[in-house]
Amino acid sequence: GQNIDQPTEMTATEGAIVQINCTYQTSGFNGLFWYQQHAGEAPTFLSYNVLDGLEEKGRFSSFLSRSKGYSYLLLKELQMKDSASYLCAVRDSNYQLIWGAGTKLIIKP
Amino acid sequence: ETGVTQTPRHLVMGMTNKKSLKCEQHLGHNAMYWYKQSAKKPLELMFVYNFKEQTENNSVPSRFSPECPNSSHLFLHLHTLQPEDSALYLCASSQDQDSSYEQYFGPGTRLTVT
């Protein structure tokens, strides 16, 4: 079967750095996405990785290792508004997105 | 309006009711999706339409019936639902189904079946 694993919940302090991990086992691989979802709102796109390595976008970076079936989302200089759920999704060989259950990130002052 | 819109935002219905959810995208995309999101569970893909043709139906019960009259509009018709169908129903769109482009989501309809 296909599976995406990510921690259920994480807590971090304002101004700090946090890394959210995602491991996957899918039928084929055609890219990995990270989305942010605030409570009661739509998921919004954060990043896309298809090749190994680090993609940086301001305070957010995403890393991919295809050989290890592993990705992480790195958030720097945490702000209270970063409190949200972070969803990892992998596009499989049929170009269907397989989603993780999401990681709820709680930021404390 | 811009992006992806969904109506209604909240819906409470009895098990014998019939209702419809509406989604509209203003992005010129060719693929549209219905997802079900339950608490602490992964997003469940329900249906995919690509260029108005249904390309995916992930074993969804027949009490959910999609309709895609054109590339900009997507409906989900509901009838004789069960309490376990209570969830957030999200609509999304993308440039097309088989591309690396991200999906854009609407705000969802929070459905409660009583």
A11-34 pLDDT, tens digit per residue, is 999 999 999 999 999 999 999 999
Encode pLDDT of B15-65 as tens digits.
888 999 999 999 999 999 999 999 889 999 999 999 888 888 888 999 999
Characterize the bridge pairing of strands A70-75 and A60-65. antiparallel
Q: Which residues pair with B22 in a beta bridge?
A: B7, B75
Q: What is the pLDDT, as a whole number, of residue B45?
A: 93
Mutate to test the interface with A, among B94, B102, B110 (most CBs of A within 10 A): B102
Phi–psi pair at B89, nearest 5 degrees: -105, 120
Inter-CA distances, B9 with A38, A75, B3, B75, Å = 16, 31, 15, 14
- pLDDT confidence bin for A95, thresholds 50/70/90: confident
Encode pLDDT of A34-80 as tens digits.
999 999 889 999 999 999 999 999 999 999 999 999 999 999 999 99
Tell me, yes or no, if A99 comes closer than 8 A to chain B by beta carbon: yes
Q: What is the pLDDT, as a whole number, of residue B1?
A: 57
Residues A19, A72 contacting (CB under 8 angstroms): yes
Residues A52, A65 contacting (CB under 8 angstroms): yes
Flag if B97 and A95 touch (Cβ within 8 Å). Answer: yes
Of B100, B104, B108, the CB nearest to A31: B100
Q: What is the pLDDT, as a whole number, of residue A66?
A: 97
Residues A98, A4 contacting (CB under 8 angstroms): yes
Residues B46-66, buried b or exposed e (16+ Cβ, 10 A)? bbbbbeeeeebeeebeeebeb
Token digits for B40? 């602490």
Tell me, yes or no, if B41 comes closer than 8 A to chain A by beta carbon: yes
Query: B88 to chain A: nearest residue by CA?
Result: A40
Encode pLDDT of B52-98 as tens digits.
888 888 889 999 999 999 999 999 999 999 999 999 999 999 998 87
Of the two residues B112 and B96, the one the predictor is more confident about is: B112
- Give chain A positions within 8 Å (CB) of B41: 101
Q: Judging by beta carbons within 10 Å of its beta carbon (0-12, 13-18, 19+), is residue A104 exposed, middle or buried?
A: middle
